[in-house]
Structure formats: C-alpha cells, structure tokens
Structure 1
C-alpha cells in the first residue's frame, strides 16, 4: 500500500445521530481535519443512499451488504464497536477491503451491566411490579437467590467473560464458562457438558458473539432443560437467542427471570413486543456498551489506524483482509 499523503481521502461515516453516544460532533471533526489535512469526513444517512459513493474509508457501526454494494471504491471499513455481523464474508470475498474493529472498547461497560443484573438476582427489584407493596414483594421472595449459593454459567469466553472470572474469584462465586476453544481450565466446559449439566444452573449469562454457529443458540430444546426459576441475563448478540422460544418459556415459567439488553429488529418485532408485556422480564434498550469515554477511546483507535493507512502501513485490529 503506497502513501496517500498527496491526495484527498474521503471518509464515509454514520456517526451523526441524535443519540449522544453515536454523534461525532463538530469539535472532534475539526481536530481530525487539522491532524489529517488530506482527509474529508462526509456524514451520510445510510438509509438514503440511492447512488454510488466514492469514499475509500467507512467508519461507523451500521454498514451492511446493501450499503457496501453502493460503495465500490471502499478500501477499508472500520467498525466503531466489536460486532461486524452486518456484513457477510461471502460478499467481501472478491473485494480487496480491509475490515477492522474496536476490540475491547466497551468491555468494561458491558461487564458493569452484567454485574448490575447479576446482583439484582439477589433481590429481584428491577422486573417486578408493585414494589412499593411489601406484602406483594414477599409473595415472590422465594425467587431471590444469594450470589454465593448460585451455580452460574457464562456463555462465551472473551474479554467480558474474563472480567467476570476475576469478579467471581473476588466474591468466591461458583461460575463456569462455555467455550468452543480447548482451554485447559477447570471451570471452562464444552457444549456437550453444558447441555448435560444445564438443569443444575441457577443463572445463565449469555455473552455469545453472533456467527452462523451461534445463531439461535438458545432455543426451546435448551430452555426445556433449564430450571423453571432460572435467571437469564442476555447481553450477547440478540440473534443468538430465539425470541419466540424465549417468550414461550417465560410465559409458562413465571418464576423464571430474564434481563435483556437489546432492541428488536424486523425479524422478531412481534415476539419482542410480546416479551415486553411479561412481568418476569426487564428490558434495557441495548445500552450495555454506553459509557462516557467512548469517543476518547474510539477516536484514539481510529486515529492510530488512519496514520498507518495513509502511510501505506498495515493497520491494527484487522479481522478480515
């Protein structure tokens, strides 16, 4: 890759939103323009793209195969988060496009949400109505479970799971981790052992990333093997859970409790609305990755890679090339 200093580089970004978390403001743009006088940042409403765009770089979170087909000159796509499942590798196969992401950028924030939900399993105050009524609360008191008496399984063993592992040692918790990798650790188990011991777990924390192997990982077959008063903490990718099967399980098993951090998509909108009406589920609007220093960290990651890109050097955090 040769140096690009002598020509303008157009960057297509979707980081222009009413949401503070995903709004790259003018001050930040001006700082980037001063540091990189050869670039031009162009904000685009991705839903309104009707013709081809000649940007070489995409920086954001919402690009998909449809948008990709309208940007034939892209050389590098940088995701402002970890997940890149909106693009199919099949469509990238014949395109020489670098794909990078921002690993670990929101691990601490998602970890904090997981702990927040986990601690609530000891009191069950988040997803119960009529909390002001002490007698009503006591009718459900038997559903509360002290942390040190719970048997917990975490689905996935990435950065967030490793933070949970440190937390579990600090508080002497009984936690296992499901991983497809062959790791020689006592508390890491494979899928076969997970399924065979599923009936023993009090709490399941889903941190699975989305891929074809994990698509609808949690379905009726697994729900039927769980305890009827299970705690489900679902903060992994929504597509790893069958929303229809989750709804049916929670509807029947009213002593089960679910904490879900997600927004519906067009494929599960109806069942998601049904979930909202249940008393034994607490839903947050996909805010696990929100934290105050997001832009400080995000710009730092992108700037460092942009320097490498315009100097013809290999960028970091490549997940596909």
Structure 2
C-alpha cells in the first residue's frame, strides 16, 4: 500500500506512522514534479487543497482514498474525486482549540478597545475610552460542529448567551438556543457577535450578504473563520464602511492571499489575519495521529472516522 504525502514530512512523523503500519510504502514530497510521478501508483493521497488539481488526480490511476490535511474540503470537490469511487476524509476536530482561541483573540481586544489603545500608545496618548465586555452578550455560531462546540464552551466561561445554527439541530450543554441552518435569519437580529464556521458548499456560498447584514444590529461584530466564499465581501465592505455593523474579524477570504488592492485592508473596523486560525506548533502531529485512526479503520474494512460526504461537501 503506497501513501503519498504532500510536503516534507519530518522523520519523527514518518517513524510514528511506519512503526504502526510497517506494511506501508510512504513517500513525502513538496516537489510537484515528483508528486506527479509518485501519484501514478499511489493508493492514498494525503494533501492540502492547494495541491489538488484535476490533472494530478487523473494521474492517480490507483487512488482509492484522498485525505485532506484541513477541515474544509472545498478544493477537493472536483469531478475527478466526486464522480469516482475514491474515499474522501478530512482532519476535522484537530484544531478546534486554536480556532476557538482565534475567535476570542478578535472579540476580547475589540470589546476592551485594545486595538484603539495600541494606536494611542504609538501616539503616546493617555485617554479613557468607553469599554464594554462579553458577559451577558449574545454570540451566534453559524455551523455548530466540533469547532463551534468549542467556541460555545469558551463563550460560557465569559457568561455569554449562546445561540447556534446546525443543519440537523441537536442539544448542546453549551448552547442556550439551537436553530436549524434554514433559520439563520432568526438569530441575526439578536446577536452581538456572529461567528461563521460552516463549510463552503453551494448552499453556503455568499451565505452572508447584503440582506443578512441588514438584519444584524448596528453594534454587531462578525467573525469569519469558515471560508471567504461564505461572505459576500463587497456587501460586507459596504456594511462596514457605512457602519451598518460595527466591525469584523476576518481570517479567511474569497481570494488568498488577500489582494493588496482589496479595500478591506483600509478599514479601521476590519481586523485581518492571514488564514492562521488553525495554526499550532503540533498541527502535523495531531493531523497524522488522526490520519492513523482513519488508516486503521481503512485496513480493517470499517468506515473512516472522518469520512466526508463528497456530495454534501462535509
């Protein structure tokens, strides 16, 4: 069984995998020319979305399974994978702590005015600004999965009211009120903070547009940790510049890197990070541990723990 990993896998990670699965032939490379050769007889392809192309997948005549090193699989949903018998799995759940922390790294500095105080520090200005907090505020989580649950859990530490949407609503001890994904418009007027954590699919493309933004409070703050395509960025820019909502924290964009001519860069009420919400020093260690769980299931003829429905996109 041959596994192709896209990237330069460190020796300790190689050792961990091969010690548990000595029957595996593991090849790792970041060189795309070598990748295109090695994929021809590979059974399993472990990859980031940027290495997924129709031509490369078509070369993998023996491919039986593609595993995404990310949670989002929008770049994997190409006809060569969807219409084939290949299995598709992802790395959901391994960065729920990091992404949930990143959400609050937007919220806390915003309500405590740290962004403003930093600017004042550079100008050597001493002034008391009006400060608010998170307690007793309402946070809305759009797409309650494992990451959303972790966000809700942390929100409860700050004594926040939590509402959430989920395609198939289930009870959560951290959520005060659950709604179906079709009831999004019900939560928009009530939230002080809106956090997007849904996968990018045909259903969620431009999920938040002009209409949805107009339903939100003028004091509301939006955080996008999902995919850039979930938000209509032109509508968001207009809402921010017209103060239709108070601010936004964005870690993902419809085009990445965010073009230098994007007007979002210039907004004082828009806070930008370069798609680093899930980054951690031990990301690869966690990702490979999860892959090993899937590999054990695959070898045993069981369903993959993080199998993706290729037609639903999650």
Q: Normalising by the residue count of structure 1, what TM-score does the alignment of the two structures yield?
A: 0.80
Tell me if the contact between 2:237 and 2:264 (Cα under 8 Å) persists in the aligned partners: yes
Assess, with a 3 A threshold, how the Cα gap between structure 1 residues 113 and 57 changes in structure 2: closer, same or farther: same
> Which ranges in structure 2 are unaligned for 5 or more consecutive residues?
none
Say whether residues 1:12 and 2:4 are aligned partners.
yes
Which position in structure 2 is the counterpart of 1:219?
Answer: 209
Whether 2:182 is the aligned partner of 1:195: answer no
Q: Work out the CA distance in 1 between the residues paired with 2:169 and 2:301.
A: 37
Query: Of the candidates 287, 301, 315, which is equivalent to residue 276 of structure 2?
Result: 287
SS in 1 for 2:76: coil
Equivalent of 2:220, from 218, 230, 244?
230
- Cα-to-partner distance string for 1:245-288 (whole Å, 9 max, x where unaligned): 2122212228722111125526x955972211211111111111
Q: How many Å apart are 1:215 and its aligned residue?
A: 0.9
Q: Is the 8 A contact 1:243 1:272 kept in 2?
A: no
Higher relative contact order (CA 8 A, sep 6+): 1
* Residue matched to 2:106: 117
1:64 corresponds to which of 52, 61, 68: 52
Q: Does residue 1:29 correspond to 2:14, yes or no?
A: yes
**Over residues 13-64 of structure 1, what are the superposed CA-to-partner deviations in whole Å (9 max), with x where a residue is unaligned?**
2123xxxxxxx21332244345444433333447556677221110122243
CA contact (8 A) 1:260 1:282 kept: yes
Q: 1:85-122, CA deviations, whole angstroms, 9 ceiling, x for partnerless residues?
A: 21227543542211122231111111111122222232
Alignment partner of 2:276: what SS? coil
Unaligned runs of 5+ in 1: 1-8, 17-23
2:285 alignment counterpart: 296
- The equivalent position to 2:28 in structure 1, one of 22, 43, 46, is 43
Aligned length: 302
Matched, 1:206 2:196: yes
Select which of 128, 131, 143 maps to 2:120.
Answer: 131
Tell me what 1:54 maps to.
41
Q: Check conservation: 1:247, 1:271, Cα contact below 8 A.
A: no
Question: Which residue of the partner structure matches residue 170 of structure 1?
Answer: 157
Please state if 1:146 is matched with 2:138. Answer: no
d(CA) in 2 for partners of 1:243 and 1:272? 13
Greater shift, 255-264 or 217-226, is seen at 255-264
In structure 1, distance between residues paired with 2:186 and 2:126: 36
- Is the CA contact (8 Å cut-off) linking 2:239 and 2:245 kept in structure 1? no
After superposition, the CA RMSD in angstroms is 3.1
Normalised TM-score (structure 2):
0.82
